Each structure stands twice: as C-alpha cells, then as structure tokens.
Homo-oligomer: A and B are copies of this chain.
Amino acid sequence: MANQYTIGLDFGTNSMRALIVDVQTGREIAQAVADYPSGKAGIILDDSNPDLARQHPLDYPKVIEKAVVEAIKAASADKSFCVSSVIGLGVDTTGSTPMPIDAEGNSLTSNPKFANNPNAMAWLWKDHTGHAEAEQWTKAAEKQHPEYLAKCGGRYSSEWFWSKILKCARVAPDVFDAAYTWVEIADWIPAILCGTQKPDTLVRGICAAGHKAFFNPSWGGYPAEAFVASLDPKLGRVRKSLPNVCANVSDLAGKLSADWAKKLGLPAGIPVAVGAFDAHLGAVGAGIADGTLVKIMGTSTCDIMTSKMGKDLADIPGLCGIVPESVVPNAYGLEAGQSAVGDLFAWLVNSVKPAGQTHELLTKDADRMKPGQSGLLALDWHNGNRTVLVDQRLTGLYVGMNLHTSPAEMYRALIEATAFGSRVIMERFEKYGVKVSRVINCGGISARNPMAMQIYADIMNRPIAISRSLQTCALGSAIAAAVVAGAHPDFDSAVSKMTGVQDKIYTPIAANVAVYEKLYKLYLQLHDAFGIAGIKSDISNVMKDLLTIRDAALAE
C-alpha cells in the first residue's frame, strides 16, 4: 500500500505550524511555520491595558495557506509523498480563544465597521480583561449551579469563554449586538476549511466547550439559559445560539471545501477532524493512554490524563477540567496545569539577569549540586497557581537564602519548585482514584534540559519518559485526522502506531529521592500555609529543616 499522510495544523500564541505525518508510523516528514501577520508577535495589544490580548481572525486563513503550501513543498522532497496521498487534516489551537461571528459564520472583522476593532477579534486565551466578570460567573455558579464549578476546579477563570463574552457585552455593546454567536477558534478554523462556518452547520468540539464554557452532557450541554441570563439578560441570546451537543476529535468537522483544496493544492473532500486545544491534542501526540500522565512543558504546563468512561470518576477539586471525550473518545479528559514553568526559569535569566549567565550555564552549575545542598526552597507561583489551588492571586516565594546564595542555586530551586508542584498535581489525581502508572513529558524543556528531567524523576519518584516528537500538538492533530480519515480504527491504535518515547528514560535515583521526600514535606507546608485560607500551622521548622538537610548534603 502506498504511504498515506495527514496534516496537523497547530495554532499557537505567536505562530502557526503545519506538520505532515505518515499515518502508519507517525514519521514527521515535513513542517512549516507561519507567523501571524497582525499585532506584536501575532498578538493585538493595548498599551493602556496590560490585560488585553487578541488575535486577528483573518490572520488564520492567511497562515494556513502559507504554512500548508510550504510544508507540502518541503514534503515533496520525500519521494513517497504526493499531495494525493494526503488523506485528512486536523486542527489544534490555543484556548479558550472565542471570537464573535455573524449569521453567516464570518468574523465580524470582515465587516469594515469592525475591521480594526479588537473587541471584534479573537479574545486570546491569555486575555484577562474579564477578571471581574470571572468572579461574577464563579459567584453565580456557586449559588445557582455548584455542579458547574465542580467540573472546572471550583473557580471560573477570566481566560474562559463566558467571562470574555460578558466583558464584551459590557465594554463593546456594538460588537456584542452585531454578533450572531461566539465560537472558539478551535471550532471556527476547521469550519472555514470545510465551508461549514454558518452557525447551523458549524460543529463545536467538546474540548473547548467542556473545559471552558460549562458544557457537560450530564446537565444537558451548555449551561442553563436562565443561569446565563442571570449575569446579563443580553447573554440569553448567545446561549440560545449554541447547540445541545458537541463532537469530539474522532468526529468530522466537515470535508475540505473545493475552494480550500484549490488554495492548498490538496484533494477536495478529504476529512477535517473536529478541533481541540493544543494541550489536549498535544497529549495525544505524546502518547496519552489511561494511566499515563502527559505533561506538556513550555512557558507553563498542561498536565493531561484520561480515564475510561463507564467507571466511576469523582469530581477532583482543583482540576481545571473533567470533560467527557475532551482528549479522546470514550474517556474523560482531565486537565491540570502549572501557571509558570519555563516562564519561571526565564524570569531568573531575563529579569533578574545574573551577569554572564544563560540557561545553559546556570543548568551546568546547578547540575553539579546535590539535592538540598543549597538550603533553598521556592514556590512555583510567580504567575499564580492553576492546579490545585486555582488561584491567580498567589505569588513567588524563596526561602533559605544566605549571604552566598548564587543564581545557579536559585535556578535549581525554581526547577525543583516546578517539580514539587508537578508532584502535587500527580498526587491529586491519585488521591481521587486516577492512578498514574506512567509519566511522559513533552515540549521544549523536556527535550532541552536533561537535568530538569532527572529532578522531575527524583521528586515525583517516577520514571520520566520524553515524547519522541518535538511537535506533539501538531502530531496530535495529524492523529485525529488519521482517525477521521479511517486510517486507524480508533485512537488507541492510532496513538500506539503514530507516537513513541525516546530511548532515554529518567529513572529516580534513590539517594536523591530520599532527600527530596524531606524537601517536598517542607514545600507542602509552605504550599498549604500560603495557599489555603483558614489553616493555622506552625512553619517555624522550615528554615531549620532546610539547614539540617543542607548540612547533611554538604557532609556527605
């Protein structure tokens, strides 16, 4: 049989990537990256409001054309490749990144009246303009529908769908009134490829709806209209425009339209999979399976697990989402995360800026240290805590400095802090019955920093595998495309054929594990003392225990 390929389209914060993948082996034969033409590194900003972050929806078709055409050109160097061997497309995006559309399913920015109006654009995931609105959604849900909150960690975020729509209704009623409905770009982008963007034909994915928009089949889909309207009566209309069902990534968003087939040089009518968030399809590309925790490590992390449906699954406090089929069909998708990981290390290098230091040099020095020998302990909360505390109003902490504390010690302490935070997440999964039998890390840091991965193995006390692919999000999209194209009977078989891990497995080192067990106890003390209201505790042992651990490490 001739080789067959799918194309995964990965819409990131700053650029978009097209990846062409062999559906049998997962081999990545070509890729291309296109920058969004608008804004600063793809983001529309507002000097007077640091919370604002938008993307221009008309950038999306432009980058698709550019990246796919380039990727196909690059793939053509491979003799086994030809455009007719491309059998499907998949899409992953950032999120929650909702945008207003008109009754035809077009972006409001297609209307000259709104062409340059940021409120008519896509409200990027990291737009926090709706923080007051998020509070109101949380309070309203606490009163009227606590079950809504139980599926999204107990607190509704300013980054999410309804916060942004309510904010728009308040600050830009002209835009709000002109919008027929709102759609996540994870749904809109596949739809425009298929020409199905009209609201009545547009397929919405459960990943975005379930994790960010209070959608759950157990209460009949999107939240009750009365609840939505209680925040603002105008919102009732938006709620009415939403469907009662959502699809998952094994479903068809539609078939590639003739128009787009022509633009891209691909066969018309090939299937396009329902879109999902980058982290969720990233977990697929990394090799998700029941019992496997996939950590997608970048500036922040997403921690994804699945749990087969049909078994009892408790609400897990602090998780930012438990959504049926948000990762793969027939399993709950569980999403957790850390608000800053790579960003934390970058803070030390780029903001504190120790003279002459780089990530590489600091890592080299830090790698010579034994666990505990610096006497330092940090919390990983410079950007708040996403899981399990779900609290953006938490901040960073260092304890244990002396007059000789060095930047490399501070760097290592930050890495350790993120690993401790990671263990908190893992233990939360396990406490509620989701056993973690395997950990796969993927994303930039996992590939670049072996020391960090060893620290994760030692602190989590688990072997850590690293995904083979460096582009697990785009690969996950390509896998979804392979499934909807029928190349595999299901996700399990697609994932097992198309993904893999690197040979090197980071195995816990017993001596390090023993020291980190002690440090983790201290981390937890600080975690709870600073992070949980209403607990009285004695933390006067922390500095002394750190010194005792340090003295023992130095005496070895």
Contact indicator B394/A340 (Cβ below 8 Å): no
Residues of chain B lying within 8 A (CB to CB) of residue A396:
398-402, 405
Interface string of A517-553 (1 = CB under 8 A from B): 0000000000001111111111111111011000000
Number of A interface residues in the complex (CB < 8 A): 49
Determine which of B383, B406, B536, B547 lies in contact with A537 in the assembled complex, contact meaning CB atoms within 8 Å.
B536
Contact indicator B354/A546 (Cβ below 8 Å): no
Q: Does A311 contact B (CB under 8 A)?
A: no
Interface string of A324-356 (1 = CB under 8 A from B): 000000000000000010011011000111111
Complexed CA–CA distance, A541 and B395 (Å): 12
Residues of chain B lying within 8 A (CB to CB) of residue A375:
395
Interface string of A104-145 (1 = CB under 8 A from B): 000000000000000000000000000000000000000000
Determine which of B351, B401, B403, B536 lies in contact with A403 in the assembled complex, contact meaning CB atoms within 8 Å.
B351
Q: How far, in Å, is A54 (CB) from chain B's closest CB?
A: 21
Q: Does A291 contact B (CB under 8 A)?
A: no
Knowing A356-B355, A398-B398, A400-B395, say if A405 contacts B540 (CB, 8 Å).
no
Q: Does A404 contact B (CB under 8 A)?
A: yes
Contact indicator A401/B397 (Cβ below 8 Å): yes
Knowing A395-B399, A395-B546, say if A353 contacts B354 (CB, 8 Å).
yes
One complex includes copies of this chain to the number of 2
Q: Does A393 contact B (CB under 8 A)?
A: yes
Contact indicator A405/B546 (Cβ below 8 Å): no
Interface string of A240-276 (1 = CB under 8 A from B): 0000000000000000000000000000000000000
Q: Does A407 contact B (CB under 8 A)?
A: yes
Knowing A352-B354, A353-B407, say if A395 contacts B543 (CB, 8 Å).
yes
Residues of chain B lying within 8 A (CB to CB) of residue A353:
354-355, 407
Residues of chain B lying within 8 A (CB to CB) of residue A405:
347, 351-352, 382, 396
Residues of chain B lying within 8 A (CB to CB) of residue A534:
538, 540
Contact indicator B410/A343 (Cβ below 8 Å): no
Q: How far, in Å, is A92 (CB) from chain B's closest CB?
A: 25
Q: How far, in Å, is A47 (CB) from chain B's closest CB?
A: 15
Knowing A393-B547, A401-B395, A544-B393, say if A406 contacts B530 (CB, 8 Å).
no
Q: How far, in Å, is A351 (CB) from chain B's closest CB?
A: 6
Contact indicator A533/B540 (Cβ below 8 Å): yes
Residues of chain B lying within 8 A (CB to CB) of residue A397:
397-401, 543
Complexed CA–CA distance, A352 and B411 (Å): 11
Knowing A352-B352, A382-B403, A533-B538, say if A543 contacts B347 (CB, 8 Å).
no
Interfacial residues of chain A within 480-539, with CB under 8 A of chain B in the complex:
529-539
Nearest B residue (CB) for A538: B536
Residues of chain B lying within 8 A (CB to CB) of residue A398:
396-399, 401
Interfacial residues of chain A within 458-489, with CB under 8 A of chain B in the complex:
none
Nearest B residue (CB) for A407: B352
Interface string of A135-175 (1 = CB under 8 A from B): 00000000000000000000000000000000000000000
Q: How far, in Å, is A448 (CB) from chain B's closest CB?
A: 20
Complexed CA–CA distance, A381 and B540 (Å): 14
Residues of chain B lying within 8 A (CB to CB) of residue A536:
536-538
Q: How far, in Å, is A202 (CB) from chain B's closest CB?
A: 36
Q: How far, in Å, is A395 (CB) from chain B's closest CB?
A: 5
Contact indicator B546/A540 (Cβ below 8 Å): no
Q: How far, in Å, is A124 (CB) from chain B's closest CB?
A: 17
Given contacts A344-B403, A398-B401, A537-B537, 15 further A-B contacts (CB under 8 A): A351-B405, A352-B406, A382-B401, A382-B403, A382-B405, A393-B547, A396-B399, A396-B400, A397-B398, A398-B399, A530-B539, A534-B538, A534-B540, A536-B537, A537-B538
Binding site for B on A (CB under 8 A): 340, 343-344, 346-347, 351-356, 375, 381-383, 393-407, 410, 529-544, 546-547
Can you give 18 A-B contacts (C-beta < 8 A)?
A: A343-B403, A347-B403, A352-B354, A352-B406, A353-B355, A355-B355, A355-B356, A382-B402, A382-B403, A393-B547, A394-B544, A395-B543, A395-B547, A397-B399, A533-B541, A535-B538, A536-B537, A536-B538
